[in-house]
Amino acid sequence: MRLCECADDQIVVKITAPVPMCGSMAGWIAQALATLIHNALTHGASREKPEISVRESTGWIEFLVSDSGPGCRKASEIFAKFVRGPGAPAGGVGLGLSIARHLAEIHGGSLNAWNRKEAGALFTLRIPTGGTMKIPE
């Protein structure tokens, strides 16, 4: 499955151990992950390639997407609807991260962001390995 339109040599993927299946809609999780990868390529532009890591953590699958760009604003701002990064290229309306977080939460998971100490941003998408989706009322 191809998550986004980018060349294989534009990102670094690290999967250190077998990752279990999760009880979720794979297409929606792939969409959330594609948004994170696209943002890392677009806003995290630097000499170093963005890195995607996948790991299991007791009952969770964690997808970590990091870049070495300028970092990000407060999470309360970047996950809001219609928020675009400073100097963002034309084409987006600022819904990507809001939708990605919502997709994670529907599955009982989470999506969070931090600025890395060494520069850049780190996004962590956590999805439970079991359970059911939690469609909001």
Give whole-number Cα distances, 104 to 21, 71, 109, 119, in Å. Answer: 15, 22, 5, 25
- Ranges of residues in the chain whose predicted pLDDT is under 70: 1-9, 17, 19-25, 45-46, 75-76, 86-87, 90, 131-137
Phi, psi of 85 (to 5 degrees): -65, 155
3-18 pLDDT, tens digit each: 555 555 677 787 776 7
Q: How far apart are CA 130 and CA 117, in angstroms?
A: 33
Residue 68, classed as helix, strand or coil, is coil
- pTM recorded for the entire structure: 0.81
Domain boundaries, the chain: 11-128
CATH class of 11-128: alpha beta
Tokens of 35: 């948004």
DSSP H helical ranges for the chain: 26-43, 75-78, 96-106
